[in-house]
Chain A
C-alpha cells in the first residue's frame, strides 16, 4: 500500500470552515512562517551590526512601504501565535475545552491580536 496516497484528515475541501478550525490552521501557518523568518534572522542581524554601510541597507529596506506592511503582518503573526499559544496551553491544562468557551477564547485571541498589533505598529514608529 502506498502510504503517501492516503487522504489527509480532516478532509479540508469538504470540511465547513468555522472560527475554531480557521484559528487552528492559522496557528500552524503563522508558526511555519515565523520559523522560516527566524531561520533567516542571522542574515538581518549580520547586516545590522557588521558596519554602518550594511546597517544602512537594512534601514533603507525598512523604509519601503511594502516591506513595512510585510513586517506589520509578521508582527501580527507573532502576536497571534503568542496569544493563541496561551489559549492552547490553557486547553492543555484542561481549561476552556467546551465548544462555548472555545469560541469565546477564539474571539478574544483574534480581537486582542489585532488591537495589540496595531498598538505596537503605531507606537514603534514604523509608519
Chain B
C-alpha cells in the first residue's frame, strides 16, 4: 500500500513536469489577460482538456503529499485518519468545482 503510494506520488510528479512548465507562464499572467481572451481560452475544448488535466494531476499529487505530511505530524490515530479523509474530500470537491466552472463557461 505504502509502496504504491510512493510510486504514484513519483509518477504524478513526472507527469506534472511538462504540464507545469507548459501552464506556468499563462497562470502567472492571468491577472492581466482580458476577460474575452480568458473565456476564449478556457471555454474552448482544448482549454477545458488542458485545465482538467492540469488540475487533476496537481490535486492528485497535492492530496498524496498532504497525506504524508499529516501522517508525519498528527500522531493520534483517529484524528490522523479523519484529517486525511477531510483533506481528500477537499481535493475531490476542488476538482469537481473546476469541471463545473469550466463546463459552464
Q: Secondary structure at chain B's binding surface: helix, strand, loop or mixed?
A: helix
- The interface residues of chain A lying within 8 Å CB-to-CB of B29 are 124-126
Report whether B98 and A41 are in contact in the complex, using a CB–CB cutoff of 8 Å. Answer: yes
- The interface residues of chain B lying within 8 Å CB-to-CB of A18 are none
One of A31-39, A94-102, A105-113 contacting the partner:
A31-39
Report whether A42 and B97 are in contact in the complex, using a CB–CB cutoff of 8 Å. Answer: yes
Contact of B76 among A4, A48, A82, A120 (CB under 8 A): A4
Which B residues, 26 to 49, have Cβ-Cβ distances below 8 Å to chain A? 28-32, 35, 38-39, 42-43
Knowing A38-B59, A121-B28, the reply to whether A55 touches B98 (Cβ < 8 A) is no
Distance (whole angstroms) from the CB of A13 to the closest CB of chain B: 16
- The interface residues of chain A lying within 8 Å CB-to-CB of B32 are 59, 62, 124-126
A-B complex: 9 closest residue pairs judged by Cβ atoms: A62-B31, A42-B97, A35-B62, A4-B75, A55-B35, A124-B29, A124-B28, A31-B65, A3-B75
